[in-house]
Amino acid sequence: MPVIAVIGAQWGDEGKGKVVDMLAESADLVIRFSGGDNAGHTVINPFGKFALHLVPSGIFSARATCILGNGMVINPAVLISEIDQLQERGIDTSRLVISDRANLIMPYHILLDGLEEEARGGKAIGTTQKGIGPAYSDKVARLGIRAGDLLDSEGFRERLSHILEHKNVILTRVYGAEPLSLEQVYKEYCRYGERLAPYIRETMTLLEEAFSRDDLVLLEGAQGTLLDPDFGTYPYGTSSPPTAAGAVLGSGISPVRLNRVLGVYKAYCSRVGSGPFPTELQDETGDLIRERAHEYGTTTGRPRRCGWFDAVAARFSHQVNGFTGMAVTRLDILDTLPRLKVCVGYRLEGKEIDYFPANVSLLEKCQPVYEELPGWEKSISDIRKYQQLPPQARQYLERLEQLVSCPVSVISVGASREQTIIHRDIL
């Protein structure tokens, strides 16, 4: 059975949660491999509507074990409240597992995220202020605290004491903020540790068992490729890899086991936070898409910036991830538009280019070159078969396939699990 990674192909919020929820019905193992509660994954299925931030979107599956992978950064307070809310709504969380290698978000990470953003002034990244950047910085600086550390209260106290001393110097001397109390943070995290202990464990044996049974394994992405620290619009992006490479790294699976990579693309583009966005629409079409699609952040409630499908960025994302198929979501949002535009190139300093520049100062200067296609001007939300889509919708999808050089496997025509067209086999 294959290992399938579900990857955000744009700037996040492509509909990964919906796609994972749908595929998880037949999965045995679902692993969230990166990010933290900066993610917001909306799932609408027969159990109701849910906004998940940390718990994998496979949690509604009747049989899947859901792992918060080693590549994640976890705010334990947020996780506990998410588990409580799911349990209150009758969702079984007994198959939830937290990798003992996952790093924890600590109170100083959240404080520093806010203080660092403030210090950036006009160059602020527009982070979700959940402590993500500071937590990943500490992970690579070998100053992280991991979920497994909570299982050894004495060792945890010693490590926290050493790290907090260092953090308090930064908080007080660099930012003039109040220091944090070791006693308070220690007690708070010991409480979290007690509550989460039944879920925390090593995960490599679970993976081995799944492979020996030939189980179907899903790797759930967070964020999107264009927010990647290497390939995204650096420094305007996040701090963990949302890519196919990140999927194997953040779950502990060998790259050679990954045999399907599904790239989730919106039928248009959106972005939250600062940074270049060549096809952004700052006009009434942009407002129309935002309102029709309720494009407001699941995590922060911020209005999302909206724009046309950017095939240059989309092709780049495919190059980075090697998608075996595309899932095109929110196609129904385009239902009312008489004409659609797709960006097929950029004009940069008088020349047309067809690549995605690494440097944000260059990307900011890129003017999109558009191709126009006819809209279909009717509702497609109830359609479940590709051939029943209006010819203009099929023409639009086929043009995206050509431009990105990747086949469309899944088309999403509404937010609910069943509002999906499986056009080509994913497995």
For ligand GDP, the binding residue among 7, 9, 10, 16 (CB under 6 A) is 16
Among 19, 163, 206, 222, binds ligand IMO (CB under 6 A): 222
Site for Mg ion in 284-343 (CB under 5 A): 298
Nearer to Mg ion, 38 or 203 (CB): 38
Please report the DSSP string for 5-33 in residue order. Answer: EEEE-SSS-SSHHHHHHHHHTT-SEEEE-
**Contact status: 105 vs ligand IMO (CB under 6 A):** no
Closest by CA to 69, choosing from 37, 43, 103, 105, is 103
Site for ligand IMO, residues 226 to 245, rule: CB under 6 A: 227, 237-239
Task: Kindly report the backbone phi and psi dihedral angles of residue 264, in degrees, each rounded to the nearest multiple of 5, phi listed first.
Answer: -95, 120
Residue (40 or 76) nearer to ligand IMO, CB: 40
The secondary structure element, H or E, covering residue 369 is strand 367-374
Q: From the centroid of its chain, how far is CA 280? A: 20
Contact, 251 vs 269, CB < 8 A? no
Task: Figure out which of the listed residues 127, 233, 409, 412 binds ligand IMO, where binding follows CB under 6 A.
Answer: 127
Stretch that binds ligand IMO, among 83-91, 122-130, 312-320, 395-403 (CB under 6 A): 122-130
Q: Which long-range contacts (CB under 8 A, 24 or more apart) does 77-86 make?
A: 77/192, 78/37, 78/53, 78/54, 79/54, 79/55, 79/196, 80/192, 80/195, 80/196, 82/52, 82/53, 82/54, 82/55, 83/55, 86/50, 86/55, 86/59
Q: Which is nearer to ligand GDP, 42 or 112 (CB)?
A: 42
Listed residue (409, 407, 408) closest to 426, CA to CA: 409
What span, in angstroms and rounded, lies between the C-alpha atoms of 207 and 187?
A: 33
Tokens of 234: 């650096």
Q: For residues 397 and 391, give the distance between their C-alpha atoms in angstroms, rounded to a whole number.
A: 10
Whether 162 is a known active-site residue: answer no
Which listed range, 34-42, 139-147, 149-157, 206-214, lies at the site for ligand GDP (CB under 6 A)?
34-42
Please identify which residue in 2, 114, 126, 229 interacts with ligand IMO, judged by CB under 6 A: 126
Q: Which is nearer to ligand IMO, 275 or 368 (CB)?
A: 275
Query: Encoding tokens for residue 226?
Result: 């264009």
Angle, helix 182-196 to helix 76-88, in steps of 10 degrees: 40
Nearer to Mg ion, 40 or 56 (CB): 40
Q: Which of 40, 246, 345, 368 touches ligand IMO (CB under 6 A)?
A: 40
Query: Is residue 14 involved in binding Mg ion (CB under 5 A)?
Result: no
Q: Based on CB atoms, which residue is closest to Mg ion, 81 or 161?
A: 81
**What does 412 interact with, of ligand GDP, Mg ion, ligand IMO, none (CB < 5 to 8 A by kind)?**
ligand GDP
Q: What token pair was written down for 246? A: 């990140």
Active site residue 13: yes
Give the range of 127-135, 175-183, 257-265, 381-389 binding ligand IMO by CB under 6 A.
127-135
Residue 315 touches which member of Mg ion, ligand GDP, ligand IMO, none, C-beta under 5-8 Å by kind:
none
Please, are residues 366 and 357 in contact by the beta-carbon 8 Å criterion? yes
Q: Are 265 and 8 in contact (CB under 8 A)?
A: no
Kindly report the number of other CB atoms within 10 A of residue 96's CB atom.
22
What number of residues does the chain have?
427
125 binds ligand IMO (CB under 6 A): yes
Q: Which of 309, 338, 270 is nearest to 402 (CA)?
A: 309
State which of residues 44, 78, 110, 353 lies at the interface with ligand GDP (CB under 6 A).
Answer: 44
How far is 346 from 113, CA to CA, in rounded Å? 34
2: partner contacted, choices ligand IMO, ligand GDP, Mg ion, none (Cβ within 5-8 A by kind) = none
137 and 105 Cβ atoms separated by less than 8 Å: no
Q: Which residue has the tokens 């179907």?
A: 216
Catalytic residue among 13, 37, 149, 215: 13
CA distance 284 to 293: 14
Q: Judge whether 269 and 298 are in contact, CB under 8 Å.
A: no
Task: Provide the minimum distance between the beta carbon of 333 and ligand GDP in the complex, in angstroms, as a whole number.
Answer: 6
Q: Which stretch binds ligand GDP (CB under 6 A): 129-137, 138-146, 166-174, 410-418?
A: 410-418
- Shortest separation between residue 299's beta carbon and ligand GDP, angstroms: 8
Catalytic residue among 28, 41, 109, 332: 41
- What are the structure tokens assigned to 187, written together? 């007690």
Nearer to ligand GDP, 116 or 220 (CB): 220
Residues 251-310 that bind ligand GDP (CB under 6 A): 298
**Residues near ligand IMO, by CB under 6 A:** 8, 12-13, 35, 38-41, 125-128, 130, 132-133, 222-224, 227, 237-239, 272-273
**Interface residue list for ligand GDP (CB under 6 A):** 8, 12-18, 39-42, 44, 298, 329-330, 332-333, 412-415
User: Which are the catalytic amino acids?
Assistant: 13, 41
